[in-house]
Amino acid sequence: MISLRRFVSLLVAATVVLLATAARAQLTIEIIGGGGTTIPIAIVPFAGEATYPYPLTEIVAADLQRSGLFRLVDSSGVNPRPVRTEDVRVGDWTARGADAVTVGSVTPQGDGRVEVRFFLVDTVKATQLAGYSYVVAPNQFRATAHQMADVIYEKLTGDRGVFSTRIAYITKQGPRYELLVADADGYNPQGIVASNEPLLSPSWSPDGTRIAYVSLENRKPVVYIQSLTTGKRQLLANFRGSNSAPNWAPDGRKLAVTLSLDGGSHIFLINPDGTGAQRVMNSPGIDTEANFSPDGQAMLFTSDRGGGPQIYRYTFGSGTVERMTFEGNYNVSPRYLPDGKGFVFVRREGGRFNLAIEDFATRQVQVLTQGELDESPSVAPNGKLILYASEVGGRGILAAVSSDGRVKQRLTAAASDVREPAWGPLTK
């Protein structure tokens, strides 16, 4: 049972507001470093799209360009404009250096909805790679554009696209903190919680309907779970002392949390309704930042049992603990890659904090970022991009780096410090 020993009146001590939908300044995402090889693609504006205020093909193009893996080829000046696969003269496009071209159309259905058709053609092999039709209301154009970008990305790179996912993050503006969820391109930020006391450590449930987070509104760290569909929140952990570092198990049935009720900081498993807290390991000192493996059989965590913070792996079946990091004296914040083959983490070297990636098989470590104070990595569900928090000119920003270190993005919000990103799951 949870005992709420120190419940402080919300009305007096801190103003915590559970928000529904509210307009916010969006996250602006810019590419500041390109990948090596890019795929040249031409995106021909769809027939009929100009009559709608939602720029369908512009969104597709922006998605692909932002991934750092595509280079846009000029699509103007081909007459007549191709609309279907059979209209495409591949010679027009290979002459411009495009390896692929998308064409399509937008046709009203008479009931207010429209049919969006699009085709992806490999101009080198002169074959159609994809053809899709979507019947949607015009206000679903952004979502439709992201779906098309996902198809193009998947057909041409072999990896799943993440353009239809969402990201959570925390902003700080003066004394005010806010947890927000936006589309992966930074649009449509929705306020989830606002508070006059710090919020941190958002963690998405595997089905994307709930977020666990830590709040200091009670003058101690307490973990809450909030539903994104109903807006309601419930307490997950408010035991004596500090409660923090929530991480959902991949089956959604449990969370790992760090509790100090036993003295020190230790990792417990707990049910989403806050019952059944069970300590995982018998160890002295600090264990925290639990991160479940994609198959749920193990978890990475940070521990100072070796003298300073290092990353270890606990296997649930056998109960064995294995140390994973050996370079330097400060390695923290482990996050599994979705394919389970390695993990991203933060290491301190020469006073700077940077992201690094380690492969389980080779145990090799590659440093991915070059900032001064990089922290809080979150891996995209396709494993290709890593969001993290950083600092530029004394201001908190988010940044993203590709898993090979080459593509770099910067994400900023006007007039706010941004921190604590969490990439949401793939939508089914």
Least distance in angstroms from the C-beta of 288 to other proteins? 5
Q: Does 219 bind other proteins (CB under 8 A)?
A: yes
Least distance in angstroms from the C-beta of 145 to other proteins? 26
Nearer to other proteins, 241 or 340 (CB): 241
The answer for 295, left when phi > 0, alpha when psi is -120 to 50, beta otherwise, is: alpha
Q: Which of 257, 264, 350 is nearest to 305 (CA)?
A: 264
Query: CB neighbours of 63 closer than 8 A, spacing ≥ 6?
Result: 145, 146, 149, 153, 161, 163, 185
Please choose, out of 60-68, 102-110, 111-119, 195-203, the segment that lies near other proteins by the rule CB under 8 A.
195-203
Query: Cα(102)–Cα(108) distance, rounded to whole angstroms?
Result: 20
Please choose, out of 127-135, 146-154, 273-281, 325-333, the segment that lies near other proteins by the rule CB under 8 A.
325-333
Strands 278-279, 266-270: pairing kind: antiparallel
Query: Cα(280)–Cα(270) distance, rounded to whole angstroms?
Result: 10
Q: Does 171 bind other proteins (CB under 8 A)?
A: no
CA dihedral 137, 139, 140, 144 (to 10 degrees): 100
Least distance in angstroms from the C-beta of 219 to other proteins? 6
Least distance in angstroms from the C-beta of 296 to other proteins? 21
Least distance in angstroms from the C-beta of 274 to other proteins? 12
Least distance in angstroms from the C-beta of 277 to other proteins? 17
Report yes or no: 120 and 130 within 8 Å, Cβ to Cβ: yes
Least distance in angstroms from the C-beta of 195 to other proteins? 10
Please choose, out of 75-83, 181-189, 213-221, 270-278, the segment that lies near other proteins by the rule CB under 8 A.
213-221
Q: Does 314 bind other proteins (CB under 8 A)?
A: no
The only residue of 89, 125, 232, 253 in contact with other proteins, by rule CB under 8 A: 232
Q: At 135, is the secondary structure helix, strand, or coil?
A: strand
Burial class (CB in 10 A: 0-12, 13-18, 19+), 159: middle
Report yes or no: 284 and 305 within 8 Å, Cβ to Cβ: yes
The only residue of 144, 147, 164, 265 in contact with other proteins, by rule CB under 8 A: 265
Query: Cα(1)–Cα(43) distance, rounded to whole angstroms?
Result: 57
Q: Does 20 bind other proteins (CB under 8 A)?
A: yes
Q: Does 263 bind other proteins (CB under 8 A)?
A: yes
Q: Does 257 bind other proteins (CB under 8 A)?
A: no
Query: Of residues 363-402, which lie at the interface with other proteins (CB under 8 A)?
Result: 373, 375-376, 394
Nearer to other proteins, 333 or 402 (CB): 333
Q: Does 174 bind other proteins (CB under 8 A)?
A: no
Nearer to other proteins, 21 or 278 (CB): 21
- φ, ψ at 363 (rounded to 5°): 60, 15
Nearer to other proteins, 103 or 222 (CB): 222
| 136-165 footprint of other proteins as x/- string (CB under 8 A) | ------------------------------
Query: Cα(214)–Cα(237) distance, rounded to whole angstroms?
Result: 9
Q: Does 302 bind other proteins (CB under 8 A)?
A: yes
Q: Which of 379, 382, 369, 364 is nearest to 410 (CA)?
A: 369
Cα–Cα separations (whole angstroms), residue 420 to 85, 156, 171, 225:
44, 32, 9, 16
Runs of H (alpha helix) within 259-362: none
Least distance in angstroms from the C-beta of 294 to other proteins? 21
Nearer to other proteins, 43 or 401 (CB): 401
Query: Cα(304)–Cα(325) distance, rounded to whole angstroms?
Result: 12
β-sheet with 287-292: strand ranges across = 287-292, 298-303, 310-315, 321-323
Residues within the interface to other proteins (CB under 8 A): 4-13, 15-18, 20-22, 194, 198, 200-201, 214, 216, 219-221, 230-232, 235, 240-242, 244-245, 258, 260, 263-265, 285-286, 288-289, 302, 308-309, 330, 332-333, 346, 348, 353, 373, 375-376, 394, 420
